[in-house]
Structure 1
Amino acid sequence: MLKVWGRKNSSNVKKVLWCLKELNVPYEQIDVGGPFGGLNEANYLAMNPNASIPTLQDDDFALWESNTIIRYLCTKYDNNTLYPIDPKQRANVEKWMDWSNGSLFSPIQQMMIMIVRTPKEQQNPEIVNALKEKLNKLIKIADDQLAKTTYFAGDAFSLADMAIAPLVYPWLEVCKDRPNFPHIERWFAQLSERPIFRDIVLLPVN
């Protein structure tokens, strides 16, 4: 059985668990990282020298980097809907996956540290406001795309949405003083109709 190492409330772990559920592939999830620790133990570092989560263990094969993991899973289990074969369609999916990691992940991570996990009285309002403005600009890019297509890579749900949604969710929960982004709201409401999404992604933000 596949093993997924990582705590369930991590955005990067969520996308892997979500993908496995969509593919109907059985797995074992093992809590490491955050309050669970274990990332610097020798056996974990042998699988993932970055001391990060998630790590996928498939028999004697270990894989890290969440977007690479979900691409691997769709390739192994032959799901051409989430991860299309057509080169242009696949590149369009991967473009948004790369955007999620290269552009969106870091400011969302900063938001979690600076706003969610730092007591209000210890926060720097100027830095927090600058971060919120940066996030608004990024979400505007996403909202503009969703004004044109039902999902990020077109009219079909794909790995692009799976990569982005676990990052957008905490932003929606934390940044209540945001501008109106109607297409993000519509897209997120669509995803929220999926039971797997609700069970895996919509956990308390902490």
Structure 2
Amino acid sequence: MVRIWGRANSINVQKVLWACEEVGVRFDRIDAGMQFGVTTTPEFRVMNPNGLVPVLDDGGFTLWESHAILRYLARRYGTGGLWPADEQIAARTDQWMDWCAGTVWPDMKVVFLNLVRRQPPERDMQAVEQSIRNLGVTLGILDAHLAVQPYVAGTHLSVGDIPIAVNAYRWFELDIERPALPHLQAWYGRVSSQPGFVKHCAVPLT
């Protein structure tokens, strides 16, 4: 059993919990971050000096940064499944995970924080509207990619789908105008039916 520090409503923690379900790893989750505190304690800062969640402990081996944790779990416990055995297909998962972190999340974060975490008087709606436009273009790239294959790295669900899927959940759940992206919508239907997604990611946005 591994231990995971992080609150259940964190997008980055949700990625890791879903991955654990996919590879069949039992875990014990410990509330940490925001209202739960913990992340400022000396003990936590030894595990992650950044004071952020999630943190993974696998038999004394600790790791932080959600995508690094995803890759570790997929390689250690899911090779041939969540982590493709073919090196070139595996490289595609890396490509889309990094694309999600560097291209999708910066705009999604602006939209999410303003519309979910902030009260109306505190919202920067100009920034929200620009980020929504950016996301329409960005996700259009993925939509075109998914026109020729069912998942981001090929014919099967891989670790590369997980970060994008938790962002897509916010894209589809928030009360915003979205362009028609039929291939993205079809892919989202497939990934959002995964038991791990349903259990850990399809939760109220807070």
Q: TM > 0.5 between the two? A: yes
Amino acid at match of 1:48: N
1:80-105: CA deviations, max 9, x gaps? 12111222111111100111111112
- Structure 1 equivalent of residue 60 of structure 2: 60
Give the drift of 1:7: 0.8
> Does 2:97 correspond to 1:100?
no
- TM-score normalised to structure 2 length: 0.94
Give the drift of 1:193: 2.3
- Structure 1 equivalent of residue 26 of structure 2: 26
Tell me how far apart the structure 1 counterparts of residues 122 and 29 of structure 2 sit (CA, whole Å): 35
Give the drift of 1:170: 0.9
Give the drift of 1:62: 0.6
Tell me how far apart the structure 2 counterparts of residues 187 and 78 of structure 1 sit (CA, whole Å): 21
- Structure 1 equivalent of residue 178 of structure 2: 178
- Structure 1 equivalent of residue 16 of structure 2: 16
Gaps (5+ residues) in structure 2? none
Tell me how far apart the structure 2 counterparts of residues 199 and 122 of structure 1 sit (CA, whole Å): 32
Tell me how far apart the structure 2 counterparts of residues 39 and 19 of structure 1 sit (CA, whole Å): 23
Give the drift of 1:203: 0.5
Determine helix, strand or coil for the equivalent of 2:160: helix
Gaps (5+ residues) in structure 1? none
- Structure 2 equivalent of residue 191 of structure 1: 191
- TM-score normalised to structure 1 length: 0.94
Q: Identity of paired residues, percent?
A: 35
Give yes or no for contact 2:152–2:160 (8 Å, CA) kept in 1: yes
CA RMSD across the alignment? 1.4
Which is worse superposed, 23-32 or 186-195? 186-195
Tell me how far apart the structure 1 counterparts of residues 201 and 78 of structure 2 sit (CA, whole Å): 24
Give yes or no for contact 1:143–1:182 (8 Å, CA) kept in 2: yes
1:56-91: CA deviations, max 9, x gaps? 011221101111112111222253121112221111
Give the drift of 1:175: 4.5
1:131-187: CA deviations, max 9, x gaps? 211111211111111112101111111011112111111121114311111111111
- Structure 2 equivalent of residue 86 of structure 1: 86
Give yes or no for contact 2:108–2:131 (8 Å, CA) kept in 1: no
